[in-house]
Amino acid sequence: MGRPPCCDEHGVKKGSWMPDEDKKLTDYIQKHGQGNWRRLPKLAGLDRCGKSCRLRWTNYLRPDIRRGKFTDEEEKLIIQLHSVLGNKWSTIATRLPGRTDNEIKNFWNTTLRKKLLQMGIDPVTHQPRTDLSLLSSSTSRLDSSLQLQVDAARLIELHLVQNLVRLLTCSSPAPNLDLIRLLGSAVPKNHHQVNDLFALTPQLSSLVNGSLGLPSLAPVGQQILSVNGGQTAAPSSADDSSSESMMTSKDCGTNSGTIPASVTAPSLVSSPENMSKNETISLEGSTNTPTSPPFEAWDALNLDDFGWKEIIDQMSPWLNAP
């Protein structure tokens, strides 16, 4: 089946836009607003496909577009958001008023990506690159704010695992030991890594608690470490007892079987009024109801390297159990 590309039509102009075309498009939208993009070219007297018109308007002609160099703050924000969201350019763009997803994407691909690589940071994972012989020298050049963002992203991952563990151990039906073991293997293998993170607590507290809306930090580290049975090595898959010792019912508190509503994953910048409710990355709304897809919002967190998707996949049927 499939549907013909919208730009297949013959006689449709491609390539750079001429000033008179811009004027026609702008005039039309100012008069009639953005309506049906497919019909717009004909109505506006343009030899373009609707898609091309939409792109031209949203990426270039829109009056609220801010042009010019990205500021340092914007740069840091993009890196920070990308570390959590990945290539969700449109989502990132909602946090940078006046910037388009295309502009941010281009800026990332042409500038920021290279910058991170030069600093020895993998632009995909936002972790220090391990494939470089020059790693030891380059990591010493890590910009402190960038490193802080990397640490913050890692911390968010720890929070997610903490709450998964709580959910698995505290809710009915009975805890799923296989899943808990899977979670245990997902947290950092070396607990020094966790300790290093929490050594930064004063900075991370302000960053995470101030802007991410996450709960207090210390218990997370303690619980994550307890998930690993206090060992630095990954839990043995043959050792069921280690998973049983991970968490006891007293850890469940009053939020048995739920992810606490206070655990909202990253609301990374301080302009929530600019976001619609749907754009908020939050675990709220996925709580308390095992029959609802509990972790949809986590997709946005792009934690592929963490292996959590496998965990979620395995949890789905279990959570939907009566």
Partner DNA sequence: AACTGACGCAACCGCACAGTA
Partner DNA sequence: TTACTGTGCGGTTGCGTCAGT
- Tell me, by CB under 7 A, how many residues bind DNA: 40
Q: 26: closest CA among 46, 6, 49?
A: 46
Q: How many CB atoms lie within 10 A of CB 87?
A: 14
**Which residue in 29, 41, 46, 56 binds DNA (CB under 7 A)?**
56
To DNA, the closest distance from the beta carbon of 35 in angstroms equals: 6
DSSP-derived letter for residue 71 is: P
Q: Which is nearer to DNA, 63 or 202 (CB)?
A: 63
Binding status of residue 191 toward DNA by CB under 7 A: no
Q: Which of residues 66-105 bind DNA (CB under 7 A)?
A: 87-91, 101-103, 105
Q: 3-state DSSP call for residue 121?
A: strand
Binding status of residue 35 toward DNA by CB under 7 A: yes
Q: 3-state DSSP call for residue 128?
A: strand
User: What's the rounded Cα separation, in Å, for the pair 97 and 309?
Assistant: 31
The residue range among 31-39, 130-138, 195-203, 256-264 that interacts with DNA, by the rule CB under 7 A, is 31-39
Q: 161: closest CA among 55, 34, 308?
A: 308
To DNA, the closest distance from the beta carbon of 34 in angstroms equals: 7
Query: x/- contact string, 98-127, with DNA (CB under 7 A)?
Result: ---xxx-xxx-xxx--x-------------
User: Which residue in this structure is represented by tokens 């308007």?
Assistant: 57
Binding status of residue 7 toward DNA by CB under 7 A: yes
Q: 315: closest CA among 164, 89, 161?
A: 164
Q: 3-state DSSP call for residue 98?
A: coil
**Which residue in 39, 42, 66, 192 binds DNA (CB under 7 A)?**
39
User: What's the rounded Cα separation, in Å, for the pair 32 and 18?
Assistant: 21
Binding status of residue 10 toward DNA by CB under 7 A: no
Backbone Cα Rg of the chain: 24
Q: Which is nearer to DNA, 231 or 292 (CB)?
A: 292
DSSP-derived letter for residue 229 is: T
**Which residue in 37, 205, 275, 314 binds DNA (CB under 7 A)?**
37
Binding site for DNA (CB under 7 A): 1, 3, 5-7, 13-17, 35-39, 48, 50-52, 54-56, 58-60, 87-91, 101-103, 105-107, 109-111, 114
